[in-house]
Structure 1
Amino acid sequence: MNIIKVRITVSLIFEKIFGKLLKGHERSIQAKKNIALSFLFKGLSITINIILVPITISYINSNRYGVWLILSSIISWMNLFDVGLGNGLRNKLSQTHAFKQYSRSKVYISSTYAVLLIVSIGIYLLFFLVNQFVNWYAILNVSQASIYNLNEVILLFVGFFCLQFILQVINVVLTAVHATSKVSLISVISQITALIAIYILTLFTKDSLILLVVALSGIPLLVQLIATFWYFSKQYKHLAPSFQLISFSQAKGLLSVGGYFFLLQIGSLVLFETDNIVITQLFGPNEVTSFNIAYKLFSVLVNVFTIVITPFWSAFTDAYTLNDFQWIEKIFKKMYLYWIFTIAVAVILVMISPLLYRLWLGNLAINIPILLSIAMVLYVAGFCWLMIHCYLLNGIGKIRLQLMLYIISTLINIPLAIYLGKIWGTAGVTLSNVFVFLYMDILLFIQCKKILNRNATGIWNM
């Protein structure tokens, strides 16, 4: 009898959960499904990331791991060479998907692949010629004795990046058609393969940065390649690219949309990807490792927050195209509540962070200052608030003010990071981002309010 009661209770709980999930506007239902699945996949992804850190550090040591992190930052700069095509394609596909214009979607996708292939070949050939003349040891502040083949490592890294540059288009397509959970699935499978590869390296090899690049950057590309063929031959066959549909005139249209996104990416780069360079120049690669361990812990909250809001970029495009402002306002209220919850969790996390670092890193001799953890809480607060408003503005193409703010940020962030870094160490570098977030958060909040109230004019409506 008790077993029957338990089954009935569990059944009612599941009915309530799935009833909520399948209730509301069709656009909201799609977003909820993506969020639910993304939580599952991202949870696995975060777990794998946590496991990877101590395994990787023990394999190549703290100093080389710091170099790996800096290389990852530098390579991410090259994402700028898509000149905004990815985000331009994302917005265009969201619009054509809303009106079921699949033939136009195929032209956009085919043209994007063609342009990115040309750009990737150009990047690699240029880097191949320039690489031998660059003193990477001075840039990364490491000795040649610690890494004897740094130029070869970076050349291989860039080669994998160029392949990823092309293969990542499937992620843009899936996001634009409201299938972000599939992007998370691809990511988690890629990380599982990378974890397996690293584990094999620890068994049969020793301390090889070049093999680490193959494991963490090369092998996951196979997953991305398989996913591309799988989705375009099965569920999204109606969007599959074709050589016959390549149109460079349409690519030019994507570039005009993506041009502003390109400039935004430059601003984002300075804000989010230069910290490692500043830290290695001020304190050396070992401090880059300490900084990134703290960042990885608190970025769990950012990742979870991103899971929730990512489906809404394309959903905002869809709603704005159909003049559904009421739905956008409703979603915004929920996002603000979720932001408050995220900050509360961040405060708890900083209180227990010393214990978490000990459990996570074990006997690895890495010190994480408590001031850095506190700075990370402020970083999470500023960044997540910024994302809420940027996702709406990016989705509806109102990015001129955002662009101006990013230009100002690029001028002040690095000097401010160096100044505060000399005062407060790695925490000061993080706080430079926080100060930049502060004025951006206020102004973009005002812009979004004006747009939703339908009284935005001038720069507020551009």
Structure 2
Amino acid sequence: MSGVITESSRSRSRRVVQQAGFGIVLRFGSVAATMMATPMMLTLMGSRQFGVWLVLLSVLQWISLFDLGVSAGARNEIARAVASNNPNNVRQAVTTGWWYVMVVSASLFALSALALTLTPAQQWLEQNVFKGVDAGGALWLVLTCACLSFGLGYIQSVFAALEKASAFSLFSLGTNVLFLALLALAKWFSWTSMAHIALLYLVAVVASNLWLIARFFSAYPHYTPRRASFDRTRRASIMNFGLRLFVVQLAALVIFTTSRLMASTLLGPESVVIYDAGFKLFSLITMIHTLIMGTLWSSFTQAYERKEMEWIRRSLIRLVQMMLPVVASCLVMAWIAPWLVSKWLGSSQAASLGFYLLFAAVTAFSCWSNIFAYFLNGIGDTKLQMFSAIIAGLINIPATYLFTVKFELGISGLLLGTLVSLSLFSILGPLKALQLVKKNHV
């Protein structure tokens, strides 16, 4: 069977294309809402406060990372249960995963709250990262948002495990459109503090997740969690994979989100706005690529469980071929980025062509690496990723400091540090995927 394209494989390919296409359409709507929200927030808060807000969102990503990979582990467990064609197994996997997600979410909030209350962490952030800008209650609201988003956002992983990965885009669209509407309200009432903005963002995130949960309960009543379906024996499978992936995610977060923190610390909060503008533009490319890969994750899981290796091999070949238009898109975006940012946020927020060419290289490297990272995640093989991620995470901050400060390359040094960090897995990942496909292909 591993060398044959079955009807099941063809159906899976159709689902991947449909979900990816639907997800891309939804995500473009989400990006449009974000693009409209950015100048509104810049006007409401000013560049200095807005730069701190962007750093706060990075802190949110840091906090939400400490889910210990439970959602991802549960996603793989649910996908394996779906491959077994046993609805009771799927319900058990959904119930068990959600239980552990909620436990970790509550624990995460309690530990983070204790750290902010009993240590000088908040004062240190305001003095060294926010550069004297008082975040007020915004930090606490962001903490609450991160923990609630993790607990409630588990539903997105459930949809993805059922090969409905467009749920991630649906959530993003709902959140960003609602947040945009709330920002218009804030402008009307002159709510300009970060605490007000953080509260509106919290409302948008929670409302979108609750809406998705309601959709799941309505569409999949036979999979909805029940207390009797909790299966303690699944804990090891969920947690072991989750913890391995947590290490990978931690390194990725070090690489990508500390750029904002280091920009604020080394170059001032205003530089974060310049960096983030470039990041948002190139995220249009990574968004499409990640949507496709996110759709394939659980499809890889189910195909690997059913020994449909020919489908996996052909899918990887198509993804590699797709890198040509990805690279071309990155170069075009770099060429027009200075003009786009000038028209969008003003010439003071635009950087040089060289800076955007570096962003193009980072984006292309990320997309290339994600092809093999998502495949390995889907089949549960994360040892190589863990090894390369640890090395990448360790070298990213010193490499970024070296390029930014010692070589005096300024904001471009942030991207050079990221490129150095990404290089290892971009070589080892493809070799590992090739080895696994050859080993299992008949």
Q: Structure 1, residues 261-305: CA drift from partner, whole Å, max 9, x if none? A: 122122212122211111111101110111010111111100011
Q: 1:372 aligns with which of 348, 355, 368?
A: 355
Distance 1:188 1:436 in 2: 31
| CA shift for structure 1 position 367 | 3.4
- Corresponding position of 2:394: 411
Equivalent residue in structure 2 for 1:295, among 274, 279, 282: 279
Match of residue 329 from structure 1 = 313
Match runs of 1:32-47 below 5 Å: 32-47=17-32
Determine the structure 2 residue equivalent to 1:237: 221
User: What's 2:371 paired with?
Assistant: 388
The answer to whether the 8 Å contact 2:81/2:93 transfers is no
CA–CA distance in structure 1, aligned partners of residues 110 and 158 of structure 2: 28
> Aligned partners of 1:125, 1:252: CA distance in 2, in Å?
24
Q: Which has the larger radius of gyration?
A: 1
1:154-187 CA-to-partner distances (Å, cap 9, x unmatched) read: 1121112211111111100000110112331222
Comparing 125-134 with 273-282, greater Cα deviation is found at: 125-134
**Is 2:59 the partner of 1:74?**
yes
**Paired residues of 2:309 and 2:440 also in contact (CA < 8 A):** no
Amino acid at match of 1:258: G
Counterpart selection for 2:404 from 403, 421, 426 = 421
Following superposition, the deviation at residue 23 of structure 1 comes to 12
Question: Could you tell me the TM-score, scaled by structure 1's length?
Answer: 0.89
Secondary structure of 1:398's aligned partner:
coil
Q: CA distance change for structure 1 residues 411 and 41 in 2, over 3 Å: closer, same or farther?
A: same
The reply on whether 1:57 has 2:42 as its aligned counterpart is yes
Runs of 4+ off more than 3 Å: none
1:93 equivalent to 2:93? Answer no
Q: Is the 8 A contact 1:94 1:176 kept in 2?
A: yes
Return the letter of the residue paired with 2:269: P
Counterpart pick for 1:156 among 131, 141, 144? 141
Distance 2:272 2:32 in 1: 21
Partner of 1:400: 383
Unaligned stretches of 5+ residues in structure 2? 1-6
State the partner residue of 2:302: 318
Distance 1:121 1:93 in 2: 23
Q: Give the superposition deviation at 1:151.
A: 4.8
Q: Give the secondary structure class of the aligned counterpart of 2:364.
A: helix
Query: 1:131-172 deviations in whole A, cap 9, x for unaligned?
Result: 1332121241421xx42xx25221121112211111111100
Distance 1:161 1:291 in 2: 23
Name the residue aligned to 1:5. none
Which among 339, 353, 356 is matched to residue 340 of structure 2?
A: 356
Q: Is the 8 A contact 2:163 2:295 kept in 1?
A: yes
Two-structure CA RMSD over aligned residues (Å): 1.9
Match of 2:3 in 1: none
8 Å Cα contact 1:298/1:377 also seen in 2: yes
Q: Give how far 1:326 is off.
A: 1.1
CA distance in 2, matches of 1:317, 1:249: 20
| Alpha carbons of structure 1 residues 151 and 60: separation in structure 2 relative to 1, 3 Å | closer
